[in-house]
Amino acid sequence: MRRCDLPLFTIGTNGPRFFNRNAVAAEQFALHRAIVAPVAIEESLLVAVTKLADRGVWVEDVHALGDFLTEPTPLAGRAMELTLQHPTLLRWLEAVTGCASLSAVQGHIARTLPHENHRLRWHNDLNVPNRRLAITVNLSDAPYEGAIFELRDVATKTDLFRFVHRRLGDAVIFEVASRSEHRVTRMVAGGPRCVFAGWFVGPS
């Protein structure tokens, strides 16, 4: 995948700043149905969110698709929702992805550990019908092995995109559609892996 190591946008206390790299983002999405957004969140906001996450109580969230730890009271998750649902970011995403009518962000913080069940199996996130795009934002700089994000074409089973979160504040944005599915492989060692896992949604 052709990636740009320079920020496409950075969200700070005054909202998003954009760096005129729309063509790079649009090319990424057209080819891979995903965009890597380096350093998408400014340090001051990251510090505030990670402090909320570090103070939180974490409980096991068990699903048929896989397990992870999450906040029973979503303080850090709500802070990330508010950070990401700025109207200018929604309009930018509509422009570079072609996903129309983005109106809000929904999501949660997910922590995974080196545990057999801490993975996500292949799925498409369409259990909520108004989801248009998904996003993960890295909220931890703890090194780990495994926990690889993979996106593939449903019809051909062809890999479209693979990514491992390494840098605090990096984000991955990818399509939510019946033609694509994604998973996160099991964490082998290290961690925890801590990400905001969310969705840009349209009208119901």
Q: Which DSSP state fits 185?
A: P
N-term to C-term CA, the chain: 33
How much is the pLDDT for 56?
80
Mean pLDDT in consecutive groups of 10 residues from the start of the chain, 204 residues: 78 94 95 96 93 88 91 93 96 96 96 90 94 96 94 97 94 98 95 95 89
Q: Could you tell me which of 149, 183, 28 has the C-alpha nearest to residue 5?
A: 28
Half-sphere exposure (CA, 13 Å, Cβ side) for 110?
20
How much is the pLDDT for 70?
94
How much is the pLDDT for 53?
87
How much is the pLDDT for 55?
84
CATH topology of domain 9-201: Jelly Rolls (2.60.120)
| Contact (CB, 8 A) for 201 and 102 | yes
The three-class DSSP label of residue 165 is coil
Amino acid identity, position 94: E
Delimit the domains of the chain by residue range: 9-201
How much is the pLDDT for 34?
97
